[in-house]
Amino acid sequence: MSFLQWAINPWGLRVPIHIAWFLIWVAVIAGVGFFIVHATYVRYFAKPRQFAPDTPPIVPSEIPARVPRHSQVARAFHWVMAASMLTLLCTAFLPKVGVQFNWVTYHWIAGTVLTISILFHIFHASFWLDFWSIWPDRIDMTDAYYRVLRFIGRPAPAPRKFAKYPLENKLYHGAIIVAGLCAIATGVVMMFRVHTIFFPRNPYLFGDMTWGTIYVLHGLAGVGLIALVMVHIYFGIRPEKRPITKSMIYGWMSREFYLEEHDPTRWVVSPSDAAPGSSDRSARTE
Amino acid sequence: MAVIRDVMPAFELLQPNSIAEAQNLLQQNGSDAWVLAGGLDSFDWLKDRIKRPKTVIDLSGVEELRGIRTTSDGIEIGAMTTLTEVAQDPTIRGKYSVLAEAAELVASPQIRNQGTIGGNVSQDTRCWYYRAGWPCYRAGGNICYADTPDGRNREHAILNAERCVAVNPSDTAPALIALDSKFVISTSKGQRVVDAEDYFVGPDIDITRLHILQPGDLLTAIRIPTTWANQQFYFEKVRDRNVWDFPLLNVASAMTLSGARIQQIRIAVNAAAARPLRLKNVERAVRGMPPNAATGEMAGKLAVEGAVPLQFNAYKIPLMRNLVKRAIGGVEQAA
């Protein structure tokens, strides 16, 4: 069993041409396996989460009832990226499992949309958002260490609440960066192999071995994204994560969820940040 | 790459005697099975050792697949009927002469004696890069060697190319499309009947096949309705060697006239793309017009709209334009 498909090129060289397509099913099974293991663990074995107390204590009335989490632009980016990613995965892999349609054009158009949206995201996140908020910091690593110790029954202090993004979010974002940028970089180059509106087709841009490697990397990134997207959707619909999912739709999360999960010293929210609809008296005085 | 060794690799030969038995064997063997009809396409692949099936299912013993039968709505041609039988059948010659003409222009008499109509419409492309075993798109790879700046692509596609530029080489396919034939396919889920034009697929849909047959499927018959019987037909094939060659292009049309005007028409070309193309825009445009040189001229121009020539096959554009022109206006008027 080979993870790659090889061929002999016209010059007698053995070159990789793409991944073995059974890896699609490996990714799908890995995704489903993760759902089952995680859901079973959470349902039957997980202990209630414990966080270290807030220091200094929080005065809830200083926090708006609706805590803004994602700007309109950030949400628009997310959903454009999600639509293009799902289109890319469907157009890439459905034909491989027997659903036949004219996929190439849709694929490169969706890839172009994704590329533009990612470039925009990098620019937007670098200059308009808190760039470092999505990267793991020292506190995340220390708390992760504590959580592991507590998971295996060793004594450790309770971890602190999360900053704007939990460590899991940050690690997922890192994995998406690796797989996504690999797929995009190779995909842009692969557009030289088909007819698009962007540049003249040039199959001689690289040698067969380089092209083969590009196709393999694109395929590996693609099957990796299958599992990553499955896991992302799974968490998006899990009950305890729904406030986060809703925040990606409406832009805000409730003060209760914020205070329960997030450390106001690591994710500072002031009353002036209140999302629209925060000004109702009952919410303020709760 | 392709070294003809004349000795085929070992495979298990299965020789069913009925469609049911053949279907059963096809389902048992799935994608490991190779369907052998007349063998004219198959033996090239096998002797060149490019295709190495584990099992070959030889249909030559299935009598149900042979012969031309009259039905309540036309005729039914068994998929294993030879091209000679098709070309010489009195009913076909009399009522559907466009098919007889097309079958008669396939290759050589010896090949027509052995080759079947099912094999002719289901044969693989003749792109030599692909046939030589190079790892092109059609062979599951990631390149089209013919569609490169130095590729030898004189015989390749000018229309509807999508990564692969190979063409369908069948002569009978456009005639069957012009006659509005139906292809009868036996599948694991039962019998399926598709329009002739829907039997073929281009690389945009499936880059590794020229037709819709999946592993386990079997083309059993071709039905030709009476709709176009005894109408005005045209078939022309252009090839490098008139004694024996695949088409550079061919065209088939069936036309009904109302007075001096075209009432209905079906027209198809092959070897211009990876699937035979029914020229629906031409059909719409010429309906109600006289079948003369002017109409042919207009139809020819319309037919090649969107054509994209490769390095060495630009000649196919005027060739197709003129074949369509002649199919509409007739040779004398078009000349």
Mutation to test the A interface, candidates B1, B31, B142, most A Cβ within 10 Å: B142
Question: What rounded mean pLDDT belongs to chain A?
Answer: 90
By CA distance, what is A4's nearest residue in B? B141
Mutation to test the A interface, candidates B49, B136, B143, most A Cβ within 10 Å: B143
B255-312 pLDDT, tens digit each? 999 999 999 999 999 999 999 999 999 999 999 999 999 999 999 999 999 999 999 9
Write down the pLDDT at residue B280.
98
Euclidean distance between CA atoms A160 and A169, whole angstroms: 16
Contact B205 A211 (CB under 8 A): no
pLDDT band at A52 (very low <50, low <70, confident <90, very high): confident
A154: phi then psi, degrees, rounded to nearest 5? -90, 150
How far apart are the C-alpha atoms of A267 and A241, rounded to whole Å?
A: 18
Give the tens place of pLDDT for each residue, A182-199.
999 999 999 998 888 998
Burial of B333 (0-12, 13-18, 19+ CB in 10 A): middle
Task: Compute the count of residue pairs across chains A and B with CB atoms less than 8 Å apart.
Answer: 47
C-alpha torsion sign, points B55, B124, B69, B88? negative
Per-residue DSSP letters for B42-54?
Answer: HHHHHHTTS---S
Cβ-based contacts of B205 with chain A (< 8 Å):
100-102
Does residue A283 have a pLDDT over 60? Answer: no
**How many angstroms separate the Cα of A117 from the Cα of each of A134, A221, A280, B197?**
18, 18, 36, 40
Query: Model pTM?
Result: 0.85
Please report the pLDDT score of residue A279 as a whole number: 60
Judged against a pLDDT cut of 80, whether residue A280 lies above it is answered with: no
CA-closest candidate to residue B187, choices B162, B165, B168, B212? B212
Q: A193 and B143: CB-CB below 8 Å?
A: yes
Cα distance between residue B190 and residue B196, in whole Å: 18
Assign A7 a pLDDT band (cuts: 50, 70, 90): very high
Measured in degrees and rounded to the nearest 5, phi and psi for residue B310 equal -95, -170
* Dist. CA B34–CA B179, nearest whole Å: 29
Instruction: Collect all residues of chain B within an 8 Å Cβ-Cβ radius of residue A102.
Output: 162, 204-205
Residue B1 has a pLDDT of: 52
| B1-10 per-residue burial string, b: 16 or more CB within 10 A, e: under 16 | eeeeeeebee
Does B135 sit within 8 Å of A194, measured CB to CB?
A: no
Phi, psi of B157 (to 5 degrees): -75, 150
A203 touches chain B (CB under 8 A): yes
pLDDT in tens, B3-33: 656 788 999 999 999 999 999 999 999 999 9
Spacing of C-alpha A28 from chain mean position: 17
Predicted pLDDT of residue A264: 87
Q: Does A204 touch chain B (CB under 8 A)?
A: yes
User: Which strands form B261-270's sheet, in the order they lie side by side?
Assistant: B232-238, B249-258, B261-270, B277-278
Query: How many Å lie between the alpha carbon of A17 and the closest alpha carbon of chain B?
Result: 6
Q: Do A8 and B135 touch (CB under 8 A)?
A: yes
Percent pLDDT > 70 in chain A is 95
Q: CA of A86, closest CA in chain B: separation in Å?
A: 20
Q: Which of A17, A104, A201 sits opposite B141 (nearest CB)?
A: A17
- With cut-offs at 50, 70 and 90, classify the pLDDT of residue A109: very high
Closest-CA distance of chain B to residue A14, Å:
11
> What six digits make up the tokens of B172?
């009978």
The reported pLDDT for the residue numbered B119 is 98
State the DSSP H helix or E strand holding residue A254, giving kind and residue range, or none if neither. strand A252-254
A203 contacts on B by Cβ (under 8 Å): 143-144, 147-148
pLDDT higher at B286 or A269: B286
Question: How far is it, in rounded angstroms, from Cα A179 to Cα A172?
Answer: 11
pLDDT of amino acid B10: 93
B163 at A interface, C-beta within 8 A: yes
Q: What was the pLDDT predicted at A282?
A: 37
Residue A16 makes CB contacts below 8 A (sequence gap 6+) with A4, A5, A6, A209, A212, A213, A215, A216
Chain A contact for B130, CB < 8 A? no
pLDDT value of residue B130: 96
CA distance A223 to chain B (A): 18
Contact B163 A194 (CB under 8 A): yes
The whole-number pLDDT of residue A129 equals 87
For residue A23, the cross-strand partners are: none
**Residues 96 to 135 of A: which have CB under 8 A from any B CB?**
100-105
How far, in whole angstroms, is CA A25 from its chain's centroid? Answer: 20
Please tell me which residue of chain B has the smallest CA distance to A214. Answer: B142
Contact B140 A5 (CB under 8 A): yes
